[in-house]
Chain A
Amino acid sequence: MNPSISFQAEIIENTAITPDIFKLTLIPLESFNEPLPGKFFMLSVSETLDPLLKRPFSIYNFKDRKLQFLYRIRGRGTRLLSEKTQGQRISLAGPFGTPYPEPEDIHKEVWVIAGGLGIASLNFLIKRLLSKGQKLKVLYGARTGPEHKLLDDISGSCELLIATEDGTAGLKGTVLDLFNALSLQPATLIYACGPQPVLSFIDRKAQEMGLKAYLSVEERMACGIGVCLGCVIKTKDGYKRVCREGPVFREGEILW
């Protein structure tokens, strides 16, 4: 049977990691297309018609056929999602979107820059790159110390630099303070995901220094497959769909 694009999954785990950030683990009940780092799924938060639309969530991890997502409670939809419990079923569609391209040279250091919940999209990439022996530096900025539990255990396998806004772990500041304290080598490739000010800053820096950067952005979506045209972002080539041409864009592409 062909892999399904729209299917049900069973909830294995849906637990709070911090008071408002949850980790959701699902086991799909049908065969589905291979998820790659940077792609996303549309998850239904209710099996009724209200809320109506599925929500896009980056793939946080994929292992042993289990899909993992990380989300912060931000509104009614994510609150409903947080109330779901082990054993319940959930509808989802995907994987959609263009993944992070892989680095060309595993010996050249690449930087992964995660601002806040941007780690939800980068965690899977970090694991993939490390499993391939990629030389890696991870810069991770969060609000507070406990949020560093969001990054799976990668200690020892790469250089990890952390910052927190309240100074409870690592440098007191943001991921940009970590970034500014380092010197970029000309060959460095950057992967980044996080709030818009982080991404636009990294984008500008990458362009100034002639570096290649892959930036994953977020936008409100209805369909996730490129037909509603609701999630467009302004680029130098006109509007592009975050769900289709994105969510990963190159440096210099987006008009912030």
Chain B
Amino acid sequence: MVNLSVMIGSLRLKNPVITASGTFGYGEEFAEYLDLSELGAITMKGISLEPREGNPQPRLWETPCGMLNSIGLQNVGLHRFLKEKLHHVRRFNAPVIANILGNSIDEYIELTKNLDGEVEAIELNISCPNVKKGGIFFGTDRAAMAELVSAVKGTLKKSLLITKLSPQADIKEFSKVAEDSGSDAISLINTIPAMAVDIEARRPVFKNIIAGLSGPAIKPIALRMVWEAVSTVKIPVIGIGGITTAEDALEFLITGATAIEIGTANFIDPLASIKIIEGIKEYMKRRGVSDIKEIIGSLTCV
């Protein structure tokens, strides 16, 4: 038996594989296809106070080894999430992480008050490139982020606080801001702002012009940013960005990520997260490693 369990602050995960926000819904669809209890944790689709309709079509564009999305945070809103969605995902033996998004500190606080204790952790979404106001502002302004993280941390009594960093920010600087302001962990990266052009129409593919790039194409960038984060802060770092195979996951873990999130890979193969957990186990057996903690941060640079 190999031990895959990791600690994110005071929260124990049975393995380091978490599904990423916006790629797993509220768990309902995937529950038909896999046992959610096998996952390290499940991150909910971003939740705002009020329901959001999201952006008009087109919302997707495939790129080499990646994809652009402009979903615009379509979600059912806090009320329906608590009333209809949460109890479903609660039936499984996996910690639930609520990804939250607001236009103001007050909105984040309101969301936090309602979700504290209902979920194991709150992931602050301050890095979505697909909405016009809020979100990303907090992720790219040092003072604003410090104020937001401190305010949310001050509100929380039970749940853990994870701050999801934007790849647009200087990772060393902003991971430190998150840590100093009270984050229990940080997760990175969100999608990278990017664009595509329709050459016949000579117009941007997306109405918002800029969309978010995800998938294997961004993995080396995400890995570099995770490296910068783990070299800077002491709190756990959760690696996200193009992780598609167990080998990808292991790169992040060896670099120092305590856990990883699976995003776009969930689209390519609904069983990707489960296959990655199995692949990590096989690697450990093959290498004679009994505890995953021996792998995390084992990168040798000299």
**A225 with B270, Cβ < 8 A, contacts A53-B62, A239-B54 known:** yes
In the complex, how many angstroms separate the beta carbon of A114 from the nearest chain B beta carbon?
24
- B52-76: CB near A (< 8 Å → 1, else 0) gives 0110111110101111010100100
Point out the residue from A50, A91, A220, A225 that lies within 8 Å of B33, measured CB to CB: A225
How many residues of B sit at the interface, in one of the four size bands? 20 to 34
**A220 with B74, Cβ < 8 A, contacts A52-B65, A53-B67 known:** no
Judge if A186 is at the interface, Cβ distance under 8 Å: no
- Residues on B with C-beta less than 8 A from A138 are none
Point out the residue from A222, A225, A239 that lies within 8 Å of B30, measured CB to CB: A225
- B25, A227: Cβ atoms under 8 Å? yes
Q: With the chains together, A44 CA to B267 CA distance in Å?
A: 12
- Residues on A with C-beta less than 8 A from B60 are 220-222, 228, 230-231
List residues of A (4-27) whose CB comes within 8 Å of B's CBs: 5-6
Judge if A39 is at the interface, Cβ distance under 8 Å: no
**A230 with B69, Cβ < 8 A, contacts A52-B215, A220-B58 known:** yes
How many residues of A sit at the interface, in one of the four size bands? 20 to 34
Give chain A's interface secondary structure class: loop
In the complex, how many angstroms separate the beta carbon of A6 from the nearest chain B beta carbon?
5
- Residues on B with C-beta less than 8 A from A44 are 268
- A237-256: CB near B (< 8 Å → 1, else 0) gives 01100001000000000000
- Residues on A with C-beta less than 8 A from B25 are 226-227
User: Residues on A close to B: CB < 8 A?
Assistant: 5-6, 44, 49-54, 91, 93, 219-234, 238-239, 244
Q: With the chains together, A229 CA to B25 CA distance in Å?
A: 9
In the complex, how many angstroms separate the beta carbon of B91 from the nearest chain A beta carbon?
18
Point out the residue from B58, B74, B244, B271 that lies within 8 Å of A49, measured CB to CB: B244
Nearest residue (CB) in A for B219 is: A49
A-B contact pairs, 25 of them (CB 8 A): A5-B271, A6-B271, A49-B215, A52-B62, A52-B65, A52-B216, A53-B62, A219-B57, A220-B58, A221-B60, A222-B267, A223-B23, A225-B29, A226-B29, A227-B23, A227-B25, A227-B30, A228-B60, A228-B71, A228-B267, A230-B69, A231-B59, A232-B54, A232-B59, A244-B29
User: Residues on B close to A: CB < 8 A?
Assistant: 22-25, 29-30, 32-33, 45, 53-54, 56-60, 62, 64-67, 69, 71, 74, 215-216, 244, 264, 266-271
In the complex, how many angstroms separate the beta carbon of A149 from the nearest chain B beta carbon?
31
Point out the residue from A5, A222, A239 that lies within 8 Å of B53, measured CB to CB: A239
In the complex, how many angstroms separate the beta carbon of B35 from the nearest chain A beta carbon?
11
Nearest residue (CB) in B for A226 is: B29
Point out the residue from B24, B33, B45, B69 that lies within 8 Å of A5, measured CB to CB: B33
Point out the residue from A54, A221, A227, A229 that lies within 8 Å of B266, measured CB to CB: A227
**A228 with B23, Cβ < 8 A, contacts A220-B60, A222-B67 known:** yes
- Residues on A with C-beta less than 8 A from B23 are 223, 227-228
In the complex, how many angstroms separate the beta carbon of A197 from the nearest chain B beta carbon?
17
Shortest 5 CB-CB distances between A and B: which pairs? A230-B60, A223-B267, A227-B25, A222-B267, A5-B33
Point out the residue from B67, B74, B216, B267 that lies within 8 Å of A239, measured CB to CB: B74
Q: With the chains together, A91 CA to B66 CA distance in Å?
A: 18
Q: With the chains together, A53 CA to B22 CA distance in Å?
A: 16
Q: Which of A6, A54, A229, A239 has the most C-beta atoms of chain B within 10 angstroms of its own C-beta?
A: A229
In the complex, how many angstroms separate the beta carbon of B274 from the nearest chain A beta carbon?
10
